[in-house]
Structure 1
Amino acid sequence: MLVWITGVSGAGKTYLANKLVKKLQNKSILAVHFDGDELRNCFKSESPQDYKKTKRLDIARKYARLGKLVSDQGHLVLFSTISLFNEIQDWNRNNNPKYIEIFLNVPKQKIINRDQKQLISRHFKKSRNNIVGMDVTAETPINPDFVYQDIKPEDEDYLTNFIICRYEEKINENGMGLYKFSKSVFEKT
């Protein structure tokens, strides 16, 4: 199963993914988390050219295929990545039967105020460009499963429970009992 957490830089994608992984672990469910920034660092993708739109799309395609590869091996995969391309969102939905898309649509002013990585301030000083949502147009997801402007603890709990239900459907497809999800309880069918 693939959970794709997307939004512009500073939206809280990594924060949310880390919270979800920890909550899943507390319920004895191991999840693999791939973070876009960590993957760029791992593969040494730090050339200014790597941040242009065409290169971003190429990298997003690789992330999507990696997510599918690991998910197809039976793992619960969370991806926190900008990757705001409709082509990627469509590919993920068409190629991953158990796909959940979470879009963090944080207001631009809140992103500017946060500026955790100093990307926005460097952008305004003209020392950094190719920032999605600033000078690179973001393709807003067409049909995300969840959209949040801000994540609250109860949202984290709700998403964790939803992910567990979808995941258990996947691992119980052999007829051992499916679980139906409701906002506050699990009901065995």
Structure 2
Amino acid sequence: MSVTKTDTSRIIWMTGLSGAGKTTLARGLKNRLERERIPAIILDGDELRTGLNQNLSFTAEDRLENVRRTAEVAKLFAQEGYCVIVSLITPGECMREKAREITRGASSFILTYVNAPLAVCRKRDVKGLYQKVNDGAIQQFTGISSPFEEPVSCDLEIRTDRLTTGEAVEKLYSFCYGKKTILAQTGTRLASVS
């Protein structure tokens, strides 16, 4: 079954600790979607923080505003038929529910928990952020000094400490665009398929 343009709109919201692999997975998925000629865009938390959301701090209120703005942008792209891949820590359950609420009706919202143990994330430390926490240069950091609430209602969990990047991308792609998934769509939520 080939995917048609009307089937392409999704908001894939990736949540997880820094270093869990959200950005890597987002880039891999975008490449996979492009091979299938599915229009896709990535909204990456780090990139948004240097542009659209540069005036926000890391207080609870500003983190919620970061999520709100990102969800509004995701909604606009989804309404135009894009698969929107959001790579954003989104540490609180209320924040994830806010994103789902804002985008409701625009597209299927697929909350994906990109999960790796904190020890693995610290070891990866691709951006050097955990080292900055250790050095005292960063005070508020999710998973260390600021809480990360594990999702209670994610649509898909991907353990990046157990899967290669390629395996993780294929698992996510199959869940979001496999034949069973397209047939199982109901409203704005996707049914879980094996």
Give TM-score, length-normalised by structure 1: 0.80
- Within a 5 Å distance, the mapping from 1:27-176 to structure 2 comes to 27-43=36-52, 45=54, 50-94=57-101, 95-96=104-105, 97-150=107-160, 151-152=163-164, 153-165=166-178, 169=182
Return the alpha-carbon distance in structure 2 between the equivalents of residues 92 and 51 of structure 1. 17
Return the alpha-carbon distance in structure 2 between the equivalents of residues 44 and 182 of structure 1. 35
Give the aligned partner of residue 3 of structure 2.
Answer: none
SS at match of 2:145: coil
Which amino acid is the alignment partner of residue 91 of structure 2? L
Identity among equivalent positions (%) equals 27
Q: Which structure's CA Rg is the greater one?
A: 1
Cα-to-partner distance string for 1:75-101 (whole Å, 9 max, x where unaligned): 211111111221232233341551111
The structural deviation recorded for 1:169 is 4.0
SS at match of 2:57: helix
Return the alpha-carbon distance in structure 2 between the equivalents of residues 76 and 27 of structure 1. 12
Which of 4, 7, 12 does residue 21 from structure 2 map onto? 12
Contact 1:64 1:88 in 2 (8 A): no
SS at match of 1:43: coil
- Gap change, CA 1:181 and 1:147, over 3 Å in 2: closer
Number of matched residues? 173
Contact 1:53 1:130 in 2 (8 A): no
The structural deviation recorded for 1:149 is 2.6
Contact 1:104 1:148 in 2 (8 A): yes
Q: Any runs of at least 4 consecutive aligned residues in structure 1 with deviations exceeding 6 A, and if so which?
A: none
Give the aligned partner of residue 6 of structure 2.
Answer: none
Return the alpha-carbon distance in structure 2 between the equivalents of residues 93 and 57 of structure 1. 13
Which amino acid is the alignment partner of residue 71 of structure 2? A
Where do 5+ consecutive residues of structure 2 fail to align?
Answer: 1-9
The structural deviation recorded for 1:25 is 0.7
Give TM-score, length-normalised by structure 2: 0.78
Which amino acid is the alignment partner of residue 19 of structure 1? G
Return the alpha-carbon distance in structure 2 between the equivalents of residues 162 and 149 of structure 1. 14
The structural deviation recorded for 1:74 is 2.2
